[in-house]
Structure 1
Amino acid sequence: MDARKIQRINELYHLEKSVGLTAQQKKEQKKLRAEYIQAVRANLRGQLNNISIQNEDGSITPLRPKGKN
């Protein structure tokens, strides 16, 4: 997500707190927030995929989602 979209999310937030939003602005805000959340989740998944755990015996095991071995 680029800085321009994050700035727009913040603008809409401040506008909402000061004078309120129109229906179109609320729709835009909802869309941008969903896109932001998706970007944060993808970033977190990428970081977690690069984590490995070192066991007591010295072996290294990559961190995997639950249910997958």
Structure 2
Amino acid sequence: MKQMIDRINYLYKKSKEFGLSDEERIEQEKLRKEYVKIIRGNFENQLKNYKKKGEE
């Protein structure tokens, strides 16, 4: 996960300074989608395990 975040950040910084090649733009989009998918999955799991106060 750390490597994914580092790569996303690198591509973002590079896009601001120099621009990205077509391949890099595709990679950036793919990495961002995968990252969001992981975060959503983690959040959904947290919600599934959440219990209201007073529920056992």
* TM-score (norm: length of structure 1): 0.75
Instruction: Work out the percentage of aligned pairs sharing the same amino acid.
Output: 39
Q: How many residues align?
A: 56
Q: Which residue number in structure 2 is paired with residue 20 of structure 1?
A: 19
Counterpart Cα distance in 2 of 1:46 and 1:28? 27
Unaligned runs of 5+ in 2: none
CA RMSD of aligned residues (A): 1.3
Unaligned 5+ segments in structure 1 are 62-69
RCO (CA 8 Å, sep 6+): is it higher in 1 or 2? 2
Identify the structure with the greater strand proportion.
1
- Superimposed CA distance per residue, residues 11-34 of structure 1 (whole angstroms, 9 cap, x where no aligned partner): 000000001000000000000000
Question: Of Structure 1 and Structure 2, which has the larger fraction of its residues in helix?
Answer: 2
TM-score by length of 2: 0.92
1:50 aligned residue: 49
